[in-house]
């Protein structure tokens, strides 16, 4: 139900159900993951970091956990932590175009233009190589 409320754009309802689910079953990966998404979408980035940290403990080989925690760290302006998480996400899933894109944005903000360009190109090429790609990347 929490996931359904989240997808329906009702984060308050989703949050209370997901909090209850995590309370009852803290080892439930998906309850923690969606709890992190609700926290992130509500601007509660520290809570999102904590939820995605739990996901990493539960499933340390899932790239999406590191990617989403990286998003939360970036929102907290914890750039080094965000970069470390994007790097790990890409180690686990080398075709994760959003991780390249978001890492590139952090490099751009730091005026590391060569690294930013490499990440943007990798994101573009990764997305282009997918059979379902829309081809919307324009850099």
For the entire predicted model, the pTM comes to 0.88
Predicted pLDDT at 130 = 62
pLDDT per residue as tens digits for the range 34-65: 999 999 999 999 999 999 999 999 999 999 99
Dihedral sign computed on CA atoms, order 106, 109, 110, 112 = positive
Tell me the per-residue pLDDT of 1-20, one tens digit each, with 9 for 90 and over. Answer: 888 888 888 888 899 899 89
What is the structure's pLDDT at 92?
Answer: 98
Q: Distance (Å, rounded) from C-alpha 132 to C-alpha 1?
A: 30
Q: What radius of gyration do the chain's Cα atoms show? A: 16
The pLDDT mean for the chain works out to: 91
Residue 69 has pLDDT above 50, yes or no: yes
How many residues appear in the chain? 139
pLDDT of residue 9: 85
What's the CATH fold of domain 2-93? 1.25.40
- Mention every residue, 6+ apart, whose C-beta is less than 8 A from residue 111: none
Cα gap 70→136, rounded to integer Å: 24
């Amino acid at each position: 139900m929490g996931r359904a409320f989240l997808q329906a754009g009702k984060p308050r309802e989703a949050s209370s159900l997901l909090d209850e689910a995590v309370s009852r079953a803290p080892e439930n990966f998906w309850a923690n993951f969606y709890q992190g998404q609700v926290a992130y979408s509500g601007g509660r980035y520290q809570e999102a970091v904590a939820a995605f940290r739990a996901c990493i403990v539960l499933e340390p080989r899932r790239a999406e956990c590191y990617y989403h925690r990286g998003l939360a760290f970036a929102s907290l302006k914890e750039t080094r932590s965000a970069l470390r998480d994007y790097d790990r996400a890409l180690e686990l899933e080398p075709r994760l175009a959003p991780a390249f894109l978001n890492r590139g944005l952090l490099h751009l903000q730091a005026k590391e233009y060569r690294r930013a360009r490499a990440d943007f190109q990798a994101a573009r090429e990764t997305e282009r190589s997918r059979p379902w790609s829309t081809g919307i990347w324009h850099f």
